[in-house]
Structure 1
Amino acid sequence: MDNRDAVSAFLRSRRERITPEQAGLPVYGQRRVPGLRRGEVAALAGVSVEYYTRLERGNLKGVSDSVLDALAQALRLDDTERMYLYDLARAAGPAPRARARQREVRPAVRPSVARIVEGMPELPAFVMNNRLDTLAANSLGRSLYSQMYADSTCGANVARFAFLEPAARRFYADWERMARFAVGALRIEAGKNPYDRELSNLIGELSTRSDDFRVMWGSHDVHVFRESTKRLNHPLVGVLELDQETLSLPDETGLSVVVYSAPPGTAAEDSLKLLASWSATTGQDQHTESASEPSDRHL
């Protein structure tokens, strides 16, 4: 997947959201374009109009770090957007075929990591990749996300669940916020790995099947999920306000362990214990489910 369209759309969307007043520029007369003009961005970044026009057409190949820094400052990018711009520039480098071949190898969940996840029976725990596939989950994790796993036998994808499963809009107390974070996370991954065919297929599927995803994707926003608390509305135990911790696995490409917990003495702790008891009593998903491939079924 060539990233020139992504580069062009991202730079244009960031330019159009900044007013001259925000950039400290004088305003004369009526303006015909939203945000800044290309020439104004070029002046703020210290490059020629011709050079910036080349960048906004999607050509970041060979751009120096100093120019990227100046561009990020001119466009008032936050830390996440700045890193995304750098990822786009790195992805514009040479040897796309080598990178494409490298991305076809899917990281597997090591048995030791699966044991750690399964060894936390009182806490919902998952192993996820940067495409938001859940590659492993313990029993309580699968019970917590029972609606997501309902049509899956070897893993599920959080983005598919959020946008294609109507129950997700009830499950997430703030569905829109969660959905935007999912879109932003996929865009970050697309910036890093534009030649990941599975990611391209996922984005294409969601764009085709979900109007909400298509609109959010078109905003070109990027997000890193930093929220430590998540409110979920479980069909069995009701509303749960849980703390979330995401731990990156340093030896695994793009894999993280996600763990939920409830503060002691809270109603959420009681509800989580009830859910754990129900899961153990019914024998639902007694073993950690791991998958080297995500489910092909749409959740």
Structure 2
Amino acid sequence: MAEIDQRTEVKEFLSSRRARITPEEAGLPAYGGNRRVKGLRREEVALLAGISVDYYVRMERGGLAGASDGVLDAVASALRLDEAERDHLFHLARRSSAPGRSRRPAVPVRPALQQVLDAMTDAPAWICNGRYDVLAANRLARALFSPVLADPRRPANTARFVYLEPEAARAFFVDHDRIARDVAAKLRMEAGRDPDDEELIALVGELSTRSELFRRRWASQDVRLHRSGRKSLHHPVVGRLDLDVESLEMPADPGLVLTVYTAPTGTVAADGLALLASWAAGQESPATGVRAPG
């Protein structure tokens, strides 16, 4: 993939969101039983958004430049976009209005952030960017994600692990299908924020070339924000861990996300994390980091 084309992104995103809504769901009459389009027609979206058909057609062809927040909000409501999808639409519009803007510079992990991670001794925590590059981690996170970090390529990348190491990823992530869907959706969100990121373009191209599953997920046009939730992992040493996940975007370090994994006291998962900490203490050295279990 040589580039992420902005107009194509806009066209495919809006048309895919339009295709999933039926006239009945939108409260519109469905005249005739032989509709040629899946979902809403463009003129129906325009009607729901309160804008002219010509204006909406121009928007769906990639012409978001100059669209006001009010128009974007109206289109988002007409298409029933969720929070992530709405943010994505606004990112696309901002990029359309400033096509020559240089891409965001790479954000390094400040030493103070590594100190914060190292101070968190009872919970795995790491810092990644929007491309899923693992930029910093504490000891427990290095132990928890030792299968991901077994690839000598640095920075390690969770998206590559999920899509290019499918057997290992399916063994590690209990709900691999959901993880794969979320990873592609978050990468799509990142592409809307910064389509000129050469490393992101290269990553999407690599995954598209080597993974048919990624091609399908990418083509879905789904987007997703970093959010809290639950993740179930099967660690090769301590077994299954059902962990609570908190992902926090870092305002002082734009583009970086801190993710922390915890388990309630007294649960099987908490005991598993304690066992993992003991195992990690015997595995790690300053020179080599965590060795892959085996």
User: Does structure 1 residue 218 correspond to structure 2 residue 209?
Assistant: no
Question: CA-to-partner distance for each residue in 1:92-147, whole Å, 9 max, x for gaps?
Answer: 11352x423xx2x2111111100111122222110111111110011211111111
State whether residues 139 and 287 of structure 1, in contact with CA within 8 Å, keep that contact through their aligned partners in structure 2: no
Task: Quote how far apart the aligned CAs of 1:247 are.
Answer: 2.5
Q: Quick one: which of 56, 66, 69 aligns to 1:65?
A: 69
Equivalent residues of 1:174, 1:231 under 8 A apart = yes
Identify the residue that residue 27 of structure 2 maps to in structure 1: 24
1:217-238 Cα offsets, whole Å, 9 max, x none, are 1110111243422110111111
Match of 2:178, SS? Answer: helix
Which structure 2 residues correspond to residues 37-56 of structure 1 after superposition, within 5 A?
37-56=41-60
Offset at residue 173 of structure 1 (A): 0.8
Q: 1:43 to 1:173 in 2, by over 3 A?
A: same
Matched, 1:74 2:78: yes
Contact 1:148-1:161 at 8 Å conserved across structures: yes
* CA distances 1:63-87 after superposition (whole Å, capped 9, x unpaired): 1111111111111111221111011
Task: Pick closer, same or farther for the CA change 1:95–1:15 going to 2, 3 Å.
Answer: closer
Aligned to 2:9: 6
| Maintained 8 Å contact 2:148/2:156 | yes
Match of 1:238 in 2: 239
Check if 1:248 corresponds to 2:249. yes
What TM-score results when the alignment is normalised by the length of structure 1? 0.90
> Is the Cα–Cα contact under 8 Å of residues 170 and 233 in structure 1 kept in the other structure?
yes
Change (3 A) 1:238 1:191: same
Q: CA shift at 1:27, angstroms?
A: 1.4
Asked whether the 8 Å contact 1:99–1:195 carries over to 2, the reply is yes
Unaligned regions of 5+ residues in structure 2, if any? none
Q: CA deviation at 1:177?
A: 0.8
Partner of 2:170: 169
The equivalences for 1:146-157 within 5 A come to: 146-152=146-152, 154-157=154-157
Q: What do you get for the CA RMSD once the two structures are aligned?
A: 1.7
How many aligned positions are there?
Answer: 285
What's the % identity of the aligned pairs?
Answer: 52
Q: Is the 8 A contact 1:138 1:288 kept in 2?
A: no
Runs of 4+ in 1 over 3 A off after TM superposition: 284-289
Task: Name the counterpart of 2:271.
Answer: 270
- What TM-score, normalized to structure 2? 0.92
Quick one: which amino acid aligns to residue 284 of structure 2? G
Q: Describe the superposition over 1:178-234 as per-residue Cα deviations: whole angstroms up to 9, x where unpaired.
A: 111111111111111111111111111111111111101111011124342211011
Tell me by how many angstroms 1:4 deviates.
0.7
Alignment of 1:82-97 (within 5 A): 82-94=86-98, 96=100
Structure 1: unaligned runs, 5 residues or longer: 290-299
Q: CA deviation at 1:288?
A: 8.0
* Letter of the 1:181 counterpart: D
Q: Cα–Cα, structure 1 residues 144 and 286, in superposed 2: closer, same or farther, change >3 Å?
A: farther
- C-alpha spacing 1:285/1:181, structure 2 compared with 1 (3 Å): farther
Rounded Cα–Cα distance in structure 2 between residues aligned with 1:176 and 1:256 = 22
Offset at residue 285 of structure 1 (A): 5.9
In the alignment, what sits opposite 1:140? 140
Shift of 1:284: 4.8
Q: Whose RCO is larger (CA < 8 A, sep 6+)?
A: 1
Return the alpha-carbon distance in structure 2 between the equivalents of residues 119 and 286 of structure 1.
20
Quick one: distance in 1 between partners of 2:172 and 2:285? 20
2:266 partner letter: G
Contact conserved, 1:87 with 1:191, CA < 8 A, in 2?
yes
Q: Is the 8 A contact 2:226 2:248 kept in 1?
A: no
**Alignment partners' CA distance in 2, 1:2 and 1:212:** 21
Equivalent residue, structure 2, for 1:35: 39
Q: Which amino acid aligns with 2:15?
A: R
